[in-house]
């Protein structure tokens, strides 16, 4: 596909109309192939158990029974609630602390600033996998296993978010901050009321990333939770395998419910998300 | 936050007023950093040193940890399962990274020029990035089932191609997991590549056109060299992702994680099982140190490559 269209374009560098149509069509087909797994997932979630073996994409008689059944099972709602609560709390914490630290490192002069900067930067080198065993030990000693706090505490601040915010705060002109200081505002108010509103694009990128990352997080929640009431949605969906016979239409419904929130977030905030990924990729 | 606010006011007002402006600001700065410093010290640095320490002990959750020197490392390097896992991890890396990078670059390169329905097509490629591996693991497992359930085998059989075992085969399982792993990360890489392409100033292209270069020559002589920082970033980002692969493997082989016969097991899954299935915490910590070392080498290579050619 690629070679053909490359040649196509090279051959028609001035008049590339036919080449463009071919490229566009191939890109569209590729994109549709990309979402095929999602389409099959949604399609199967709308089928009855008798229709599962019928592999047509559009169900003969679509029904929402599976959703009623899956959501009617209280555990699923509980997992959904857990995931939402955790993702929202961790996001708020990251927006607050990563911004505060990023701002301090960008706009304050004090001895030790560079050391703190390097120390936080160096934590990017430490993989989570290396920390989970000490975290587990810590959690069991402090009674954090099987608690919301136990799931959340490792992610309350991130070095990545701190650097993203630091980069953006560096672009905020000092004149604004000085003017506020002359007006007698304290430093906390200056950060919160003057500096923060000037970096809203960065904040929204950070918030979206943190939310998505925590909503889909799997490794640590899998380790720290053993009681089903505290599972997050991904851990809960994964635990289906323990159950005896596989009912694919119900599994696909569960998978769909686990996927819908992030897709909705994307559809509502598409512009911010794409811009956020670009910002994070270029600055991060 | 309360402490940050309260600190300057709790002290005697006169004392605070007597400080000069820059001293006040230093105090504010440390007040802002107080909670984060405790966090990074207690939840990042201390556990890191603890992991190194635990890797030298025989801790198993029941008895207190005892120092046993490098015994865990000796055991690991003598364990054929470790070497199998090591090999699997590098297979994920050396296939996953180049394939996902080439595919995402080609798509980004052409998608960048498309105006018609640009946002819609971009969304199609990006959506899989937003899914969770736990949910998609089920979808892909279903795809890989034998007929009459499995979509892929159903598709193959309609062309008269024999049934493939996919996840049940020692030879095919790793690749069957790699495809969803590449699929899920592609959208992110495409967006980053497109951001990199946009960042190349138009003047370069205009100059090249005046010199009469064709599209292919422009791609080779201008686009690819100028895109180097983006490419290096993505190589490292994607390499680290494949070296740390876990979610996809765990969720597609959950009856026998890492199976069949350890043929899909990556390092992180081995760490997980050593620590949380057999509770050999010390041994698992030693495995995490190996992972840390590999990731460190990859990151340092990135710094080296970027510094060398700039």
Please compute the mean of the pLDDT values over residues A15-19 and round it to a whole number.
67
What residues have CB less than 8 Å from B112, skipping those under 6 apart?
B194, B197, B198
Residues A145-201: tens digit of each pLDDT = 999 999 999 999 999 999 999 999 999 999 989 999 888 889 999 999 999 999 998
The domains of chain A, with CATH numbers, are 2-63 (no CATH), 73-283 (1.10.3720.10)
List A residues 70-89 in contact with B (Cβ-Cβ < 8 A): none
Do B192 and A281 make contact, defined as CB atoms within 8 angstroms?
A: yes
Mean pLDDT of A129-157: 95
Flag whether residue A186 sits within 8 Å of chain B, measured between CB atoms.
Answer: yes
Q: Does A154 touch chain B (CB under 8 A)?
A: yes
Contact in structure between A209 and A274 (CB atoms under 8 Å): no
Band (pLDDT 50/70/90 cuts) for residue A7 is very low
pLDDT tens across B235-275, in order? Answer: 989 999 999 999 999 999 877 888 888 999 999 999 999 99
Tell me the shortest Cα–Cα distance from A241 to chain B, in angstroms.
7
Share of chain B above pLDDT 90, in %: 56
Q: Which of A33-37, A262-266, B108-112 has the lowest mean pLDDT?
A: A262-266
Q: Does A212 touch chain B (CB under 8 A)?
A: yes
Tens-digit pLDDT profile for residues A266-277: 888 887 777 777
Break chain B into its structural domains and give their ranges. 2-54, 75-309
Cis peptide before B77 (omega within 30 of 0): no
pTM equals 0.88
Q: What is the mean pLDDT of chain B?
A: 89
Question: Which range in A62-71, A90-99, A167-176, A196-205 is most confidently predicted, on average pLDDT?
Answer: A90-99
Neighbouring-strand partners of residue B57: B67
pLDDT at B151: 84
Interface of B with A in 53-72 (CB under 8 A): 54
Mean pLDDT of the A220-224 span? 95
Report the residue of chain B nearest A29, measured CA to CA: B121
Distance between first and last Cα of chain B? 43
B127 → closest Cβ in A154, A188, A266 = A266
| Whole-number Å distance between alpha carbons of A249 and A260 | 16
Distance CA A66, CA A78 (A): 17
Q: What is the CATH T-level fold of the domain B75-309, as seen in this structure?
A: MetI-like fold (1.10.3720)
d(CA A263, CA A269): 10
What pLDDT shows up at residue A104?
96
- Integer Cα distance of A167 and A105 in angstroms: 10
Average pLDDT over residues B180-191: 94
Helix (H, G, I), strand (E, B) or coil at A55: coil
């Amino acid at each position: 596909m690629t070679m053909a269209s490359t040649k196509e374009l090279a051959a028609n560098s001035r008049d590339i109309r036919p080449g463009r149509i071919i490229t566009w069509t191939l890109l569209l087909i590729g994109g549709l192939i990309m979402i095929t797994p999602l389409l099959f997932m949604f399609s199967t979630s709308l089928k009855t158990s008798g229709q599962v073996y019928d592999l047509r994409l559009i169900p003969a008689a679509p029904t929402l029974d599976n959703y009623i059944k899956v959501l009617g099972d209280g555990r699923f709602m509980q997992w959904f609630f857990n995931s939402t609560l955790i993702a929202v709390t961790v996001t708020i914490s990251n927006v607050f602390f990563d911004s505060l630290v990023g701002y301090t490192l960008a706009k304050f002069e004090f001895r030790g600033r560079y050391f703190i900067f390097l120390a936080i930067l160096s934590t990017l080198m430490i993989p989570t996998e290396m920390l989970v065993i000490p975290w587990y030990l810590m959690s069991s000693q402090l009674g954090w296993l099987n608690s919301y706090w136990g799931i959340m505490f490792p992610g309350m601040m991130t070095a990545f978010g701190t650097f993203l915010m630091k980069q953006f705060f560096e672009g905020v002109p000092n004149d604004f901050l000085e003017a506020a200081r002359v007006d007698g505002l304290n430093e906390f108010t200056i950060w919160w009321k003057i500096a923060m509103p000037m970096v809203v694009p960065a904040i929204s990128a950070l918030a979206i990333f943190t939310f998505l990352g925590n909503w889909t997080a799997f490794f640590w929640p899998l380790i720290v939770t053993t009681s089903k009431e505290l599972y997050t949605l991904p851990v809960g969906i994964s635990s289906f395998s323990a159950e005896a016979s596989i009912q694919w239409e119900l599994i696909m419904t569960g998978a769909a419910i686990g996927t819908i929130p992030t897709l909705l977030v994307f559809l509502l905030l598409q512009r911010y998300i794409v811009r956020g990924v670009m910002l994070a990729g270029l600055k991060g | 936050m309360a402490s940050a606010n309260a600190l300057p006011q709790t002290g005697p007002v006169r004392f605070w007023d007597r400080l000069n402006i820059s001293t006040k600001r230093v105090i504010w700065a440390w007040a802002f950093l107080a909670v984060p410093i405790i966090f990074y010290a207690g939840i990042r640095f201390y556990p890191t040193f603890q992991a190194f320490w635990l890797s030298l002990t025989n801790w198993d959750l029941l008895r207190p940890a005892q120092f046993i020197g490098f015994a865990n490392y000796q055991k690991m390097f003598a364990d054929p399962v470790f070497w199998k896992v090591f090999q699997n991890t590098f297979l994920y890396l050396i296939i996953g990274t180049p394939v996902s990078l080439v595919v995402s670059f080609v798509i980004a390169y052409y998608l960048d020029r498309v105006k018609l329905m640009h946002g819609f097509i971009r969304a199609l490629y990006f959506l899989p990035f937003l899914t969770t591996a736990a949910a998609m693991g089920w979808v892909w497992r279903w795809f890989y089932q034998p007929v009459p359930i499995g979509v892929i085998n159903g598709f193959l059989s309609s062309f008269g191609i024999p049934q493939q075992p996919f996840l049940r085969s020692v030879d095919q399982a790793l690749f069957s997991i790699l495809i969803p792993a590449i699929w899920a990360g592609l959208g992110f890489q495409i967006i980053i590549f497109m951001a990199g392409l946009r960042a190349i100033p138009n003047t370069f292209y205009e100059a090249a056109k005046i010199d009469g270069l064709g599209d292919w020559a422009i791609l080779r002589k201008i686009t690819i060299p100028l895109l180097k920082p983006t490419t290096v970033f993505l190589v490292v980002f994607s390499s680290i992702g494949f070296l740390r692969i876990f979610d996809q493997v765990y969720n597609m082989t959950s009856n026998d994680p890492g199976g069949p016969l350890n043929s899909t097991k990556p390092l992180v899954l081995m760490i997980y099982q050593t620590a949380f299935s057999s509770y050999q915490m010390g041994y698992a910590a030693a495995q995490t140190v190996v992972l840390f070392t590999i990731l460190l080498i990859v990151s340092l290579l990135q710094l080296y490559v970027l510094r060398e050619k700039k």
